[in-house]
Amino acid sequence: MAESITITDNRTGESLEIPIDNGGVDAAEWRKLLPGIWFHDPGLATTSGADSAITELDGENGILRYRGYPIEQLAQQSTFLEVSYLLIHGELPTQAQLDAWVHEITHHTFLHEKFRTRMHDAYHYDAHPMGLLTSSVAGLSTFYPEAKDIDDPDVRMKQIVRLIAKMPTMAASAHRHAMGLPYVFPDNALDYPSNFLNMMFQVGNPYEIHPALHKAMEILLILHADHEQNCSTTAARVVGSAHADPYSSVAAAAAALYGPRHGGANEAVLNMLDDIGSLDDVPAFIESVKAGEGRLMGFGHRVYKNYDPRAAIIKDAAYDVFEVTGKNPRLDIALKLEEVALSDSYFVDRKLYPNVDFYSGLIYESMGFPVEMFTVLFAIGRTPGWLAHWNEMLEQNSRIARPRQRYTGADVRDYVAIDAR
């Protein structure tokens, strides 16, 4: 027998049975019985805004899968561009499909010179790279006006390729602008992570990329590639529901990611570890958190009520990176903090476990990325996820997003002339 719930309007005695489908109920059925009465759900914590076949997230059991494939397998066995293909197309590519996909992305990495120079000339020398990246993505729509033909699947795919290809170029360019360094052109002989690292860090001679750092970059991009209906993905879908082009939709997503509540958590972890200062001070810090005098950054998640599977993968990758770069001095404090917190019922009972941000900042910093680039790195990895959701939404012919509100303002009142106020 199918599961269902019964809703009774106590004002009229009318009842309605609504089936439970895939863990949710259809709000359209609710509206039939109770028109004009809204679910009040600030933050959309219990609201499903979409049907999606892209990413499965089981927060209770710490499970994350892209198109059915466990994140643990993809992180260790796949590449970022292969995962990008999977997210966009729904299936893992054949070798021929992957070769064609990589070729297309590799040969769309360059930026129009007028676009690059004019974008950078418009900004102060120390402009935050994430602000520059966000505006650059939006600006691309003016260079590719055909992108507005969103009903043509071939046009959509061309823009998807362009965005995935050009994000590392724009990101590295933003960094070098802030540092006062000359721009490094993409190198089509390099793979995706290597090309990005070379554009970031080359000074004079080509940047020597250690295999362990290359692998870590690949893993970090894969782990950030999608995460269901988070704040930035929802922003992309909401803007895209108005039939905006993909550049505008991804720029909206990047702007949401720029907010410190979404994309700035790994920086907050580093600041917290600095504030703690030493291993001996970890217990006192834990007690201050329990007393409400501080926050344990990098722990807990809006959806995960278990160990974030991405955190476990990043933690393992960190050791490989530190073998090359030397151990980040904050690592011992981080490990001790995790050990103490996970043995304390205060945090365990509240299901506060390390999340993806707890160790990622340590790796980024050890690889040479300045803190200002952390959110930019997140954006590069998340781009295929944003685009997959944007494309899926259009294929579903979704309605324009239009939530309602509870009005809490003044009752009707008459206008008062200014000299009588």
Known catalytic residues are: 262, 301, 357
Q: Name the amino acid, one letter, at 308.
A: D
Query: Do the Cβ atoms of 6 and 17 come closer than 8 Å?
Result: yes
Checking if the pLDDT of 302 tops 90, the result is no
Checking if the pLDDT of 112 tops 80, the result is yes
Domain boundaries of the chain, sorted by first residue: 4-39, 54-397
What whole-number distance in Å separates Cα of residue 324 and Cα of residue 307?
27
What whole-number distance in Å separates Cα of residue 237 and Cα of residue 234?
5
What whole-number distance in Å separates Cα of residue 29 and Cα of residue 16?
8
What whole-number distance in Å separates Cα of residue 108 and Cα of residue 166?
7
CA distances for 120 relative to 132, 137, 397, angstroms: 8, 13, 37
Using pLDDT thresholds of 50, 70 and 90, give the confidence band for residue 1: low
Tokens for 93, please give them: 């590519």
Q: Which fold has domain 54-397?
A: Citrate Synthase; domain 1 (1.10.580)
Using pLDDT thresholds of 50, 70 and 90, give the confidence band for residue 102: very high
Q: Name the amino acid, one letter, at 103.
A: H
Q: Name the amino acid, one letter, at 138.
A: A
Query: Do the Cβ atoms of 391 and 88 come closer than 8 Å?
Result: yes
228: left (phi over 0), alpha (psi -120 to 50) or beta: left
Checking if the pLDDT of 369 tops 90, the result is yes
Using pLDDT thresholds of 50, 70 and 90, give the confidence band for residue 353: confident
Query: Do the Cβ atoms of 39 and 27 come closer than 8 Å?
Result: yes
Question: Residue 39 carries which DSSP code?
Answer: -
Which residue reads 């955190």 in tokens? 311
What whole-number distance in Å separates Cα of residue 273 and Cα of residue 277?
6
135 CA to centre of own chain: 17
The 3-state secondary structure of 305-356 reads CCCCHHHHHHHHHHHHHHHHHCCCCCHHHHHHHHHHHHCCHHHHHCCCCECC
Other CB atoms within 10 Å distance of the CB of residue 405:
8
Question: Residue 398 carries which DSSP code?
Answer: P
Mean pLDDT is lowest, of 87-91, 115-119, 206-210, 415-419, for 115-119
Query: Do the Cβ atoms of 93 and 340 come closer than 8 Å?
Result: no
Greatest Cα pair distance in the chain: 79
What whole-number distance in Å separates Cα of residue 327 and Cα of residue 334?
12
What whole-number distance in Å separates Cα of residue 191 and Cα of residue 102?
9
% of the chain exceeding 90 in pLDDT:
63
What whole-number distance in Å separates Cα of residue 125 and Cα of residue 289?
39
What are 170-220's pLDDT values in tens digits?
999 999 988 888 899 999 999 999 999 999 999 888 888 999 999 999 999
What whole-number distance in Å separates Cα of residue 355 and Cα of residue 342?
13
Does the CA dihedral 61-64-68-70 come out positive or negative? negative
What are 16-52's pLDDT values in tens digits?
888 888 777 777 777 777 777 777 888 887 788 888 9
User: For 378-397, b where at least 16 C-beta lie within 10 A, e where not — what string?
Assistant: bbbbbbbbbbbbbbbbbeee
What whole-number distance in Å separates Cα of residue 4 and Cα of residue 342?
38
Checking if the pLDDT of 165 tops 90, the result is yes
What are 219-278's pLDDT values in tens digits?
999 999 999 999 999 999 999 999 999 999 999 999 999 998 888 888 888 999 999 999
Query: Do the Cβ atoms of 51 and 24 come closer than 8 Å?
Result: no
Cα-based torsion angle of the residue sequence 106, 107, 109, 111 in order, rounded to the nearest 10 degrees? 170
Tokens for 306, please give them: 């278990």
Query: Do the Cβ atoms of 282 and 334 come closer than 8 Å?
Result: no
pLDDT given for residue 303 in this prediction: 84
